[in-house]
Structure 1
Amino acid sequence: MIKKLLAAALATGCGLSAIAQKATHENLVQYVKPIVGTARMGHTYPGATVPFGMVQLSPETDTVSYERDGKYNPKVYEYCAGYQYEDKTIVGFSHTHFSGTGHSDLGDFLIMPTVGPLKLNPGTADKPGSGYRSAFSHANEVSAANYYKVKLDDNNILAEMTTSTRVGFHQYTFPKSDQSHIILDLMAGIYNYPDKTVWTYVKVLNDSTLVGYRQTNGWARTRSLYFAMSFSKPFISHGFKKYDKRQAYNGFWGKFNQSKNFPEIAGKQIRAYFDFKTAEGEKIKIKFALSPVSMDGAVANMQAEIPGWDFDKVKKDGQQAWENELDKITIAGNKEKKENFYTAMYHTMINPTIYMDVDGQYKGLDQNIHKTEGFTNYTTFSLWDTYRALHPLFNIIQPQRNADMIKSMLAHYDQSPEKMLPVWSNSGNENWCMSGYHSVSLLADAIVKGNAPFDANKALEAAVTTARHRSYEGIGEYMDMGYVPDEKTGVSVSNTLEYAYDDWAIAQMAKKLGKTDIYNEFIKRSENYKNVYDAKAGFMRPKLANGTFRTKFDPLSTINEGFIEGNSWNYTLFAPQDPEGLIKLMGGNKRFVGYLDSLFTMNLPDKYFAETEDITRDGIIGNYVHGNEPSHHVAYLYNWTDKPWKTQERIRMILPRMYKPTSDGLGGNDDTGQMSAWYIFSSLGFYPMAPGSPVYAIGSPSVNSAVVQVGNGKTFNIAVKNQGDKNVYVQKITLNGKPLNGLSISHEDIMKGGDMVFWMSNKHR
């Protein structure tokens, strides 16, 4: 073994110490628990995927209709990822999922193995045996990085799955039966509502291969997804059933609606089935490839990524890919701390997702086929969430991917008829969801931190054009009046505050690029947050077009008060670009500290949790809402007061209360990795208070030590002296042996590599 390591070192040019370190390095995949966040409102999924993979192969535990008793069904919100830990049945396994979002969609191409008389209806959870769903037990369930396994009790079938980037790989172990089936449900999906499915098509090429596509008008309004499906064993027969409301005519048209062993079918509502005879313990494997471009593209993706049938090899390769990514930060701590940390790392590297075929082709925002030139195209940009910490984390440990994500956004801008950067984009569509134009934050953060292997001047042009788009969400009024008036939109205050931050980010980008005129314009706009602060009330609040504040106002309510996913008490603290100015605006240090303290200690009355059926106490400490992103910088605001030790105290209080390695261990939606990115930064002891700034605010590290790979063979090493659950206060910090003065550290110092040492105590300074 030593000779092999020496040979590898000589062949690759690596030093022996690096090889030895790798040889003894702890396996980190063992600490990933995808089941974390699958209960309550975490909205994660437990299934298999590779880092940033296009396929997310995971079980669905229920099917939920948009309406119930003629009204909106609030349970739709519970199934944003298709799986709820408390459910007792599995409907099947589908290939696309959002991770941790607050919106339900996807769940494409559901597959379910069964035995016995064929059932093509999923049935209901309260009526066992009413359809093809099956009971299951968590005792017979394994959820790991790129591997999921569960026993389907009703059919005595063991289901296993793993993935490559573009291919889902199923392995089903059947009992002995002459009536074994595999169902392909093209009707199924998360967030089903009438007419979501526009069209589906299936073509059987031979006795083990088929291709097809599905067109939907869900959250992404014009979405097409193509597939190729291959079985390890030929099926003995197959069939289709069409559930379209408009039935085919008799006579001439009728012969084209055959269901048994017919080679193709098209329609809006289709289920297919494939029949087998199986011996006891026989495995039937399925490869299911996706493409955003064509059926031929799906076939090519399958052939390129999984040409054979070695399930264990695909699983091992995918887990090694996860190991390589997790290894970018290694920490010391107990098992629970490692499970929290590496599950958070895992959740930060699911989204955004790769969105192109192996040949570089993808469907763009203009619905034309494009081919990438020198970059990987990504989608699933939940930017209102992820600009805060996820993408700043990528600028440290995933710089190339983050640059490619920005190139994907610039391609979106080029293809946009409105000439706007993405707001919340998915699958070649813009969803126009949430507040602000936060793509500009990503561009600014990358440029200011020196991670800009793209046309930075074009990026600035795209940001400025987006921020001057007068017809979008009150931007015209914002430019003319300095705020978005209440009459314009129900989220006027949120828009004003978030536009002001984005404008500051544009100003930092312009300053870095030497564009003084643009800097002056946008640094002035960045102070617009002050225009919606009512000094008499002590809150940010809706302002009318005539310049007066709206009379009726409740700072604790989240409904119709001018804010999105938050209340005034939280949003009043949203000026991360200018903490000093905010403190002055709110009456100075003493009053500001009192306001911050009250946020964490107040008892929010029950009536505010009853305003909608979606609001729970998940993620809330007092009136501090950690489960919603506008509060994520708030605990760090004490650093700008005379009581910075309270930042350290609050961070170490939030970490164990909001994050646990259990199914209900996330205090709110993970929001495509933002909640988890907050955990990673805060555990390490610093946080990107205002992305677009090259400095990070100091907090209180919870790890014993950490090694961060910062590229070019360099590491940034964090050591924590006197670490303990009660030793939450930082006494001093050194950087490369010298005292670190102040309460921040620069991005440059991190990326140069070096040693940062925290000395902790149970008493604050």
Structure 2
Amino acid sequence: MTRFAIALAMLTFGSLSSLAASKDAVSYVNPLIGTQRSAIGYGGTMPFVTTPFGMTDWTPQTRQNKISVVSYNYDDTTISGFIGTHQPAIWMGDYGYVTVIPQVGELRTTPESHKLPYNHASETARPDYYRVSLDAGADGKIDAEMTATERCSIFRFTFPTSAEARVIIEASRPGIAGMASANPEAREITGYNPHRMDAHLGPFALPNFKGYFVVQFQQAPVDMKTYGMDDAKAESSRGAYAEFKPGQTIQVRVGTSFISIEQARANLQREIPEWNFQSVQQNLRAAWNDKLSRLQLSGATDENRTLLYTAIYHALLYPRAFSEYGHYYSAFDDTIHAGESYTAYSIWDTFRAENSMLTLLAPERIDGMITALLQNFKEGGWMPKWPNPSYTNIMIATHADSLVAEAFRKGFHGFDQQVAWQAVYKDAMTPPDGDTTRRWLDREEHTPYEARAGLTYYTQLGYIPTDKTDEASSRTLEDSYDDWCVAQIAKALGRTKDYRFFLKRSLNDRNLYNPALGLMNGKTSDGKWAPIGGGRDDNENRSVSGWTEGDAWVYTWSPLHDQAGLIQLMGGAENYDAKLDQHFSGGHNVHNNEPSHHYGYLYDFGGQPWKTQAMVRKIAAKEYDASPGGLDGDDDCGQMSAWLLFTAMGFYPVNPASGEYMIGSPMYAQLSLTLANGNTFRVEASNNSAENVYIQSASLNGNPLDIPVITWEQIQAGSTLHFVMGPKPSEWGSKWRPSLISVN
């Protein structure tokens, strides 16, 4: 073995210090991945400086963010400031944000007027640190640096000697009744921003909602004033600024809160008690290294490492913390409570793989995250679909049921199980207000909480009719999966009658199978087949065909719990696999949207696992790379990244609440994952390469493994999963079939 090979082998099982002589795990993360639109796609990500699950994320602002526009885009050429944002995804809005703007020369307070050119050559972007040089024209350059804690940040601005220096704090935007006040003696600017961009999507007005901030300066300003957003001479206090003598390095620290200005100040004192930029940055780097270094791999290039460590970074951003040292503001009853809270669950996306990844990478957070959903239930009446930070009614079904079921299945006990049952039972049994008088349109404004829209029809007909409820076909199939999840929770709690009831109802997905087409097909209320629809962008999809961001091809295999039933409906595994062949060859697999994420793994169910092995490698190579444009589709709070992580490891949670993972094709020679229980799970792939994607044989802890499935318990035991890879398909795993659901 060469010295290089020995070094690679040591990487697999080593500690953080063995990652590389000169590089730690953070060094491989590139937060710019996903920030540029490219031939691959557009990830809609931002280069956040924040902690894992940080309450407030800090990013350079190249454009004014809004729903469908994020603050940073790689192709922009100017930066207008540095925003403390809570926007979790491109198609969601921001709330309670605050912007810090360095400036020289005359006072300019509109977003367009304080833009400064920059180039990527001067830019350093890491999870723990961001630096850029801003071109102030004839006045010189402003060097800007920032690092952060969970709720706070610290900036270091080095100003040119040619002009008076200024730091502007933008509390809000035109039309938003924010507030800023200046206290020169304390070197402090305080204020709040009540803006919620998604306020029109939910049922609640929140008169008490505000994002509070406290901004402190290390150096003494020569002047400090408030200003009006559109007129620098106005008396309004939409923002404030501090001015300094030229040529100084000014340190600025910012505390944020959703409770009060006093709490923002307390958060700042607790998280950044001293003016020590380097110490804050080192602590943040250590926090990320602790998480990132739990994954070790060999047989990987630096580009490979960047892909995987950046995927971990993206996966560990959400859900975000929403409590502040024992208390939290509830956006469900507009009051302050004692306890721990989280928000920004993109559940329709993340229940598939992101949440399952968190059970491996951050299991210490799972009980708190489930508890937060249950608190939302107690305070607002339902567990949310997409809290940002309140109800938004975005997407369909009640997949919080899946998160709760997965927590039960994997042995998490730090939440109230009886309240959990009440919450999922209400999801499954209580129609939303006005269920039969509304169509429940996508992003319909100011509606009651949507819950399982169409549930009235679902319980009466066994499906949701397309002529009564929008997205009815997709709702039927996804509600069936959620029924299966509720059944598993009932079983765990010894509620046998409820278990059998929901297990039987979870087979409602079969009511939409059209044997003449070999596809799922919506139905109208008179039992007739609805038009099949023509694709994700077909205008008929939602109102006539009943699909959500997809079509019949995308949704036919969507019942994650009932692939055995689908095999039976299609007339056997051979037909099932042939239909999957048509799905992929016909271009129906759209990886940049979540309903297709498990499709590459489905050949495991039909007895052709070699096709899964080839397909998931193909998707990974096509949809991801280590460039700014290397992420196809919105990352959706880590789901796109979690898919890549699982695929790299060689397995994927097709049914995340089952505790089972379907085996694909491991992407690296050796990979290990340090678990929270102290064990290490290892994946070894002899002869692995870009050509050798096919599993020839497999073993678990030295014993033959003949099925394409591993379990949560096997991973947690610290097992070694060993594959022998080759360039041609083999029969390995082909005899396994999933069990048909029995309701008897």
Query: Does 1:469 find its partner at 2:430?
Result: yes
Equivalent positions of 1:148-547 (< 5 A) are 148-154=130-136, 156-188=141-173, 195=175, 197-204=176-183, 206-220=185-199, 222=206, 223-243=209-229, 266=237, 270-279=238-247, 282-332=248-298, 333-372=300-339, 376-416=340-380, 419-427=381-389, 429-471=390-432, 472=450, 473-547=453-527
Deviates further, 632-641 or 230-239:
230-239
Deviates further, 100-109 or 750-759:
100-109
CA contact (8 A) 1:474 1:489 kept: yes
Q: In structure 1, how many angstroms separate the alpha carbons of the residues matched to 2:303 and 2:177? A: 46
Unaligned runs of 5+ in 1: 1-17, 67-75, 124-130, 189-193, 248-256, 603-621
Percent of aligned pairs sharing the same letter: 35
Shift of 1:584: 2.1
Q: For 2:465, give the aligned amino acid.
A: P
Q: In structure 2, how many angstroms separate the alpha carbons of the residues matched to 1:754 and 1:488? A: 50
Q: In structure 1, how many angstroms separate the alpha carbons of the residues matched to 2:531 and 2:274? A: 68
Q: In structure 2, how many angstroms separate the alpha carbons of the residues matched to 1:675 and 1:572? A: 21
> How many residues end up aligned between the 2 structures?
678
Q: In structure 2, how many angstroms separate the alpha carbons of the residues matched to 1:649 and 1:365? A: 46
Q: Which deviations, in whole Å up to 9, do the C-alpha atoms of 1:131-187 show, x marking residues without a partner?
A: 110111011111112211111112510111110011011111100144211122223
Unaligned runs of 5+ in 2: 1-11, 201-205, 433-449, 731-744
In the other structure, the counterpart of 2:3 is none
CA contact (8 A) 2:533 2:540 kept: no
Change (3 A) 1:164 1:53: same
Shift of 1:457: 2.9
CA contact (8 A) 1:32 1:343 kept: yes
Change (3 A) 1:390 1:258: same
Shift of 1:63: 2.3
CA contact (8 A) 1:503 1:525 kept: yes
Change (3 A) 1:552 1:515: closer
Q: In structure 1, how many angstroms separate the alpha carbons of the residues matched to 2:636 and 2:98? A: 23
Q: In structure 2, how many angstroms separate the alpha carbons of the residues matched to 1:751 and 1:400? A: 14
Shift of 1:557: 4.7
Q: In structure 2, how many angstroms separate the alpha carbons of the residues matched to 1:628 and 1:200? A: 39
In the other structure, the counterpart of 2:550 is 566
Q: For residue 210 of structure 2, give the secondary structure of its aligned residue in structure 1.
A: strand
Query: Does 1:108 find its partner at 2:97?
Result: yes
Shift of 1:352: 0.8
Equivalent positions of 1:600-639 (< 5 A) are 600-602=584-586, 622-639=587-604
Q: For 1:439, give the aligned amino acid.
A: A
Q: In structure 2, how many angstroms separate the alpha carbons of the residues matched to 1:149 and 1:398? A: 29
Q: For residue 526 of structure 2, give the secondary structure of its aligned residue in structure 1.
A: coil
Change (3 A) 1:567 1:512: same
Q: For 1:240, give the aligned amino acid.
A: T
Q: In structure 1, how many angstroms separate the alpha carbons of the residues matched to 2:409 and 2:531? A: 42
Shift of 1:694: 1.9
CA contact (8 A) 1:716 1:755 kept: yes
Query: Does 1:586 find its partner at 2:553?
Result: no
Deviates further, 172-181 or 727-736:
172-181
Shift of 1:426: 2.2
Q: Which deviations, in whole Å up to 9, do the C-alpha atoms of 1:526-585 show, x marking residues without a partner?
A: 111122222223332332111112247435654332122222211112111111111222
Q: In structure 2, how many angstroms separate the alpha carbons of the residues matched to 1:172 and 1:272? A: 17
Q: In structure 2, how many angstroms separate the alpha carbons of the residues matched to 1:733 and 1:678? A: 22
CA contact (8 A) 2:613 2:694 kept: yes
Q: For residue 424 of structure 1, give the secondary structure of its aligned residue in structure 2.
A: coil
In the other structure, the counterpart of 1:705 is 670
Q: For 1:503, give the aligned amino acid.
A: D
In the other structure, the counterpart of 2:18 is 24
Change (3 A) 1:552 1:53: closer
Deviates further, 515-524 or 591-600:
591-600
Change (3 A) 1:404 1:563: same
Change (3 A) 1:159 1:556: closer
Q: In structure 2, how many angstroms separate the alpha carbons of the residues matched to 1:509 and 1:683? A: 31
Change (3 A) 1:99 1:361: closer
TM-score, normalisation: structure 1: 0.85
Q: For residue 628 of structure 2, give the secondary structure of its aligned residue in structure 1.
A: coil
Shift of 1:307: 0.7
Change (3 A) 1:451 1:525: same
Shift of 1:212: 1.1
Q: In structure 2, how many angstroms separate the alpha carbons of the residues matched to 1:626 and 1:401? A: 28
Change (3 A) 1:204 1:494: farther
Q: For residue 83 of structure 1, give the secondary structure of its aligned residue in structure 2.
A: coil
Q: For residue 634 of structure 2, give the secondary structure of its aligned residue in structure 1.
A: coil
CA contact (8 A) 1:198 1:217 kept: no
CA contact (8 A) 1:638 1:647 kept: yes
Q: Which deviations, in whole Å up to 9, do the C-alpha atoms of 1:175-224 show, x marking residues without a partner?
A: 01442111222234xxxxx85x3443435363511211111232146342
Shift of 1:757: 0.6
Change (3 A) 1:551 1:632: closer
